[in-house]
Amino acid sequence: EAQVTQNPRYLITVTGKKLTVTCSQNMNHEYMSWYRQDPGLGLRQIYYSMNVEVTDKGDVPEGYKVSRKEKRNFPLILESPSPNQTSLYFCASSVGTGAYEQYFGPGTRLTVT
């Protein structure tokens, strides 16, 4: 089954404790991205990757890091989480840019206290 998986689905952590949210897709997609969803703001792009070892900032990259060492995986790293990073996070992948539909993972709900 074609899918994007994220782990964990729920995470409660404390300020400053480094964490990683994993994302994996099995569709051989070149393009992957991370979004955060906040009430009233819709989804905003954090980082994206056009291919292995190629990443770039989206709209709201501050406080986040990513890496793309394999085509299927695109982890999101919060080196020092803060309460304002409490949000619902989605990973997405697609064949390419522009017209292509993005396939979204199930989401990760992160709470930073």
Partner 1 sequence: AQKVTQAQTEISVVEKEDVTLDCVYETRDTTYYLFWYKQPPSGELVFLIRRNSFDEQNEISGRYSWNFQKSTSSFNFTITASQVVDSAVYFCALSEALYNNAGNMLTFGGGTRLMVKP
| Positions in the binding site for partner 1 (CB under 8 A) | 31, 33, 35, 40-45, 48, 50, 56, 58-59, 88, 90, 94, 96-104, 106-107
Q: Which is nearer to partner 1, 1 or 42 (CB)?
A: 42
Rg (CA), the chain: 13
Q: Which is nearer to partner 1, 64 or 90 (CB)?
A: 90
CA 103 to chain centroid, in Å, comes to 12
Q: Which is nearer to partner 1, 11 or 88 (CB)?
A: 88
* Residue 101 C-beta: closest distance to partner 1, Å: 5
Amino acid present at 109: R
Containing 89, the helix (H) or strand (E) segment is: strand 87-94
* Residue 112 C-beta: closest distance to partner 1, Å: 19
* Residue 57 C-beta: closest distance to partner 1, Å: 9
* Residue 12 C-beta: closest distance to partner 1, Å: 17
- The residues with which 6 forms a beta bridge, in sequence order, are 23
Q: How far apart are CA 78 and CA 14, in angstroms?
A: 12
**Buried/exposed code over 70-90 (b: 16+ C-beta within 10 A; e: otherwise):** eebebbbebeebeeebbbebb
Q: Which is nearer to partner 1, 16 or 96 (CB)?
A: 96
